[in-house]
Amino acid sequence: MNPFAFIIFGILGAALLILVFNGNDGTIGPMTDDQFARTVYLGLFGAVLAAGLFASGQRFGQMARQAGIWLALLIMLVIGYEYRFELQESAARVTSGLVPGTAVTQTSANGDLSVTIQRHGRHFETAGTVNGSRQNFLVDTGASTIVLTEANASKAGIDPETLNYRIPVATANGTAMAARVSGLEIAIGGIVRPNMIALVAKDGQLSSNLLGMNFLDTLHSFEVQRDRMVLRN
């Protein structure tokens, strides 16, 4: 049998014995079970790679160069995996900075979802959807309810002719008359909320949709970090 086959089976056998007799405390020496499994995997990968190089019959110098290239690629992959969440956060900052209004969704190591919004001028503005219709929102913590413009409500499938504009709402331009609607699906990035209530402002009384507190209150938390707002699901 090829000597590399003995090495591979030896690694597998030793790993299996260690796992069987280790117990259930979740650690193997200074390593966790996951770290040990990754180490065994890398060892097997290296043994298989070495076997392939020697089987090719190439000179030692050529094999060393190829082994160096594969090792460098492997190290880059491992580093990328270990720091994937930090890299994801950096990419989110770049994206939100280059494309104002983009809601950048991130997933943490424990599976928690967050959406980052970049400040645009004096306000935080973000793209979202209403009943699947892509629309822009101005984040307004002073608004108790989501408020849609009449034109945007129409894009979301709401017929303005059926609405009763009898609710006064305070806007930056003064008091506007609005109608109550319900059953809306509002999404900001990866955060989706069904069956939301909103107000529809009469045509010409509001320049942009407002993302009010009835959406923000459904979040685990939200915070402002200088020019960024982070919504945590």
- Tens-digit pLDDT profile for residues 98-146: 555 677 888 776 778 889 888 877 889 999 999 999 999 999 988 899 9
Q: Looking at residue 33, what is its pLDDT?
A: 61
Question: Is 111 in the same domain as 29?
Answer: no
Picking from 1-10, 75-84, 124-133, 214-223, which range would have the lowest pLDDT averaged per residue? 1-10
Range(s) of the domain holding residue 207: 100-232
Q: Is 174 left (phi over 0), alpha (psi -120 to 50) or beta?
A: left
Q: pTM of the full predicted structure?
A: 0.59
Is 87 a domain residue?
no
Instruction: Note the helical H segments in 56-144.
Output: 60-82, 84-98
Is 94 a domain residue?
no
Structure tokens at 211: 């993302």
Which of residues 94 and 156 earns the better pLDDT score? 156
Is 27 a domain residue?
yes
Structure tokens at 185: 């699906």
Instruction: Assess whether pLDDT exceeds 50 at residue 1.
Output: no
CA–CA distances in Å: residue 200 to residues 161, 209, 233:
12, 9, 26
Question: Is 173 in the same domain as 199?
Answer: yes
Number of CB atoms found within 10 A of residue 135's CB: 20
Structure tokens at 27: 């650690």
Is 19 a domain residue?
yes
Query: Is 121 buried (19+), middle (13-18) or exposed (0-12) by CB count in 10 A?
Result: exposed
CB-hemisphere CA count at 13 Å for 212?
Answer: 19
Q: Report how far Cα 87 is from the mean position of its chain's Cα atoms.
A: 12
Is 107 a domain residue?
yes
Question: Is 117 in the same domain as 226?
Answer: yes
Is 88 a domain residue?
no
Look at the chain and report how many structural domains it folds into.
Answer: 2
**Which letter, b or e, does each residue of 189-227 get, where b requires 16 or more Cβ atoms within 10 Å of its Cβ?**
bebebeebebbbbbeebbebbbbbebbbeebeebeeeee
Q: Are 50 and 67 in contact (CB under 8 A)?
A: yes
